[in-house]
């Protein structure tokens, strides 16, 4: 068995590579062969027997995240040597041993895996979940009474090679349709991922596998999300001085969208 790992680190995000790679080799499926497919502009990340690099410059926010499925597709042929493919955000770090039975997916789970968002795992009312609620976006999720709603983080996902690339192609096509209509989903690639996962039977993992560094949520951390500002400095502090005002405006927009969503407009 062979595992493919997709990793993006453009610009200053390359500072997280060593910690990610070393911890992944130590803790993530340690007895299984792994191959890393790395999208980067960092000259110090070199091709080796288990690392394949693709030159990628930063496109800035939000394109770096919105268009990540297109990046994944560039590695589709190369990664056919792998049975499973998983994507991890650049600032992830593994803290405890993860075994195949914990992470690998089955046919019954449609070969796919998602991790519950650490900021929304406890919310059961879909109104409080940050789905794309505008019908003009292909990431739109309809409000239906009685349905089961989960919200997944965008920073960890994957599955069998076939299932993951089916997901990647569909999400990529939907994002392009949105862009042709001058529409960007509210949380970019994460919104499209949630649209794809909605009402599908997949392997659902708790926030233990996407645990914010220093958080007090009641889960045992297997994979932490390293604090970008703590480890990378002011470059990663993207909050403007008017952040409070921006948050208020965003709350008002979310309230308006929720009202329209419930009314099914």
**Residue 58 structure tokens:** 């930063």
If we measure between CA atoms, which residue out of 78, 85, 94 comes closest to residue 1? Answer: 85
List Cβ neighbours of 34 (8 Å cut-off, separation of 6 or more): 2, 3, 4, 5, 24, 25, 28, 50
The pLDDT value given to residue 41: 95
Q: What is the CATH number of domain 2-239?
A: 3.90.550.10
The pLDDT value given to residue 144: 84
Instruction: Classify residue 98 by its DSSP letter.
Output: B
Tokens 């595992």: give the residue. Answer: 3
Per the CB < 8 A criterion, the answer to whether 93 and 226 are in contact is: yes
Mean pLDDT for the chain?
92
Considering the entire predicted model, what is its pTM? 0.91
Percentage of the chain beyond pLDDT 90 is 77
Domain ranges of the chain: 2-239
Q: Which residues have a catalytic role annotated?
A: 190
The pLDDT value given to residue 229: 83
Give the pLDDT confidence of 235-250 residue by residue, as tens digits: 777 655 545 666 677 7
Spacing of C-alpha 61 from chain mean position: 15
Instruction: Spell 188-214 as b/e; 16+ CB within 10 A means b.
Output: bbbbbbbbbbbeeebbebbbbbbbeee
The pLDDT value given to residue 156: 98
The pLDDT value given to residue 95: 98
The pLDDT value given to residue 236: 76
């Amino acid at each position: 068995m062979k595992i493919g790992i997709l990793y993006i680190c453009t610009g200053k995000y390359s500072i997280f590579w060593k910690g990610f790679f070393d911890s992944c080799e130590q803790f993530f499926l340690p007895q299984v062969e792994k191959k890393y497919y790395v999208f980067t502009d960092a000259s110090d990340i070199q091709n080796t027997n288990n690392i394949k690099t693709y030159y990628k410059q930063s496109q800035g926010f939000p394109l770096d995240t919105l268009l990540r499925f297109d990046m994944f597709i560039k590695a589709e042929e190369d990664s056919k040597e792998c049975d499973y493919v998983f994507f991890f955000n650049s600032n992830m770090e593994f803290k405890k041993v993860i075994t195949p039975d914990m992470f690998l997916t089955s046919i019954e789970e449609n070969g796919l895996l998602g991790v519950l968002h650490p900021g929304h795992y406890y919310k059961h009312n879909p109104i409080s979940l940050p789905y794309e609620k505008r019908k003009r976006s292909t990431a739109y999720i309809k409000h239906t009474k009685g349905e089961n709603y989960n919200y997944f983080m965008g920073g960890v996902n994957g599955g069998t090679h076939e299932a993951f690339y089916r997901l990647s192609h569909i999400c990529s096509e939907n994002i392009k349709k949105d862009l042709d209509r001058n529409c960007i989903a509210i949380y970019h690639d994460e919104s499209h991922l949630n649209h794809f996962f909605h009402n599908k039977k997949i392997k659902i993992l708790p926030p233990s596998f996407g645990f914010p560094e220093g958080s007090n949520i009641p889960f045992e951390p297997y994979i932490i999300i390293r604090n970008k500002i703590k480890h990378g400095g002011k470059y990663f502090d993207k909050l403007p001085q008017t952040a409070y005002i921006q948050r208020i405006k965003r709350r008002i927009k979310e309230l308006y969208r929720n009202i329209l969503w419930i009314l099914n407009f």
